[in-house]
Amino acid sequence: MSEKVLHAGDSDFDATVLQSSEPVLVDFWAPWCGPCKAIGPIVEQLADQYDGKAKVVKVDVQEFPALGVRYNVRSIPMLLMFKDGQVHSSQLGAPPNIKSLLTQMIDKAI
C-alpha cells in the first residue's frame, strides 16, 4: 500500500480534508466491497503521482458510517474531490476508465 494514501475518520476528517491547503481526493470504501478493492491500486498510484499537488484520503464507511451519511454516500466506491473545504466533483462506482476519470477530477482541482 502506498505510504502517500492517508486514512481519515470522524476525529481527523475535517483537519485532513476540509482544512487542507491542497485539493483532496477522498475514496469512501469498505473492506468487503469488491469494486473498492479493484480500484484500490489505482487510487494508490494517483496518490504517488500527485504527491505534493493533491492529497489522497481513504475513509472506511463501515468503520466511520457518520462520514458516509454526512456526504450522502449511498453506494461505494464513491470518490469526492474536495477543494477549499467544498466538494468540487464526484465519481460513483468503478467504471473501466476510472483512472482517467479520477485524473481529470484531480487535474481540474489543482
For residue 77, whether the previous peptide bond is cis, meaning omega lies within 30 degrees of 0, is: yes
33 in active site: yes
Q: Name the phi and psi angles at 100, rounded to 5.
A: -70, -35
Which one of 6, 8, 24, 36 is the catalytic residue?
A: 36
Which one of 33, 47, 73, 76 is the catalytic residue?
A: 33
Q: What is the mean pLDDT of each run of 10 residues along the chain (110 residues)?
A: 88 98 98 97 97 97 97 97 97 96 97
- 469494486: which residue's cell? 35
103 in active site: no
Question: Is the CA virtual torsion 91, 77, 103, 26 positive or negative?
Answer: positive
- Catalogue all structural domains in the chain, each as residue range(s) with its CATH number: 5-109 (3.40.30.10)
- Hey, how many other C-beta atoms are within 10 angstroms of the C-beta on 65? 13
Quick one: pLDDT at residue 3? Answer: 81
Q: Enter the C-alpha cell of residue 2.
A: 502506498
pTM, entire model: 0.96
